[in-house]
Structure formats: structure tokens, C-alpha cells
Amino acid sequence: MQAKNLLPALLSISAVCGVAVADVQVSNYDDLPEGFLGSAFDYNGVQYRDVNGVGGVFPDGSTFVPADIGNDFIIENAGLLYGDFPGWGSPSNCLTFGTSYIGGENLSLGAFATAWMDLPQVSDSISFDMVFYENGPWGGIVFHLDAYLNGNVVGTDSFTISDLGGRDNIAFSTLSVSGVQFDSAHIYATFGASLSAPRLMIDDLTINTVPAPASAGVLAAMALGLRRRRR
């Protein structure tokens, strides 16, 4: 069999034999109405939970309590942002956090400290686009993404907000973990040893699920099918 024809054959046999194949799922939130989603919600098989509800510290030494940053996930129509920065995310909705938003095509970067995502099945990569404020009162805060399998951290990524002084301004980055298998993810922000609460919106959450292992019988059927196709 020619190499270029091998993948379609494998996919066809996998479908017949009931073998799961890897699936890339991108969540852009554009089919959700703008507004509050509460402290937990499900979307594209991902269970979002435990947002904020914590206290912490800001770089200037001031502190906050749970009521200051709220505990809601929020769908935000950020049309103005996408108009100015068309290369970021997928217009026009994104996911933000906190206590409030402004309806319509506005820009409301909500307060974020922590949130969890339980995945629909074991995955081997996750990434999302971030927009946040840098410098000003936010410089030095660190965003984290930890991937967990059975309650243990198996992979991590982080990004430190610029601390160049002056006024705060819009900035962009991406967090991602790949090359390990995991079933949940934790996003959070810290300053020093404490949680912090920068402003954040995310978009294009991209997850690649891991195919389920094939049984010996299924593997044998796939091998037989390939041999027959080579004749």
C-alpha cells in the first residue's frame, strides 16, 4: 500500500472496529450568549469549575478577599478587542471571570485567580490564548497552567507579566502543555507565594484527546484488513 493511502485505511478500519482516534477540540465560546455562567459550567465536554473564591495579594502589597474578585465564569463579547487585534483568538466571544461585564462589543477583562477544567477523556495537549493587562499594578504576577493525571501534576507552563512600570496596557500570550497525558487542568495566578488576581480573558481553548487503547482482537482485525488492502 502506498504511504499516502495508509492513514485513510487506518481511519476506516478504526471506525469499523470501534477504535477511538485522536480528536482536536477547539472551544471558542462563540455559540454561547454573553453573560454570567455561574461558578461552574460544561462546554464542549469540558467541565469548568472552582473559579476564584479565594483571597490573595497584589504586587503593591495590597490584598483582596473572595468577594472582591467574585466567583463567576463570564462570556464576554469582546468585539472591540478583535477589531483592534484581529490575529488574537476567534471573534467575537471569549471567556472571562469575576464580578461584572459590559454588554455589547466592549472590553471587560475580569479578575482572575484560579479555575479548574475537567476534561472529557485523557488528553495529551492543551493550549489557550490569553489577553491581560501588563505593567502598571500587574507587573510580576505569574500565570500558571498545570496538567493533572489522577490528581498528580504531570506537566506545567507559566508566564510572568511584564514589569516595566508606567501605565498598564493590553498584552497577549499563550499557555500550553503537551507531551504528557492528563485528565484535568488548573489555571491560576500567583505573586510570590500567594495567589493573585490579574485581569484575564481566554479564547480558543484547544485540547487533543488520546485515542482509547485497542484490544488484541481489534488490532488483529486492523492488521488483517491492511494485509488484504495490500493485495
Per-residue pLDDT tens, the chain, 231 aa: give them: 444 444 444 444 444 444 556 799 999 999 999 999 999 999 999 999 999 999 999 999 999 999 999 999 999 999 999 999 999 999 999 999 999 999 999 889 999 999 999 999 999 999 999 999 999 999 999 999 999 999 999 999 999 999 999 999 999 999 999 999 999 999 999 999 999 999 999 999 999 999 866 644 444 455 555 455 555
For residues 109 and 131, give the distance between their C-alpha atoms in angstroms, rounded to a whole number.
8
Within 8 A by CB and 6+ apart from 20, the residues are 14, 211, 212
Within 8 A by CB and 6+ apart from 141, the residues are 58, 59, 160, 161, 189, 190, 191, 196, 198
168: phi then psi, degrees, rounded to nearest 5: -75, 155
Q: How many residues does the chain have?
A: 231
* Residue for grid cell 461552574: 40
Strand 114-134, strand 46-49: pairing: antiparallel
Do residues 191 and 56 make contact, with C-beta atoms less than 8 angstroms apart? Answer: yes
CA atoms within 13 A on the CB side of 211: 11
pLDDT value for 107: 84
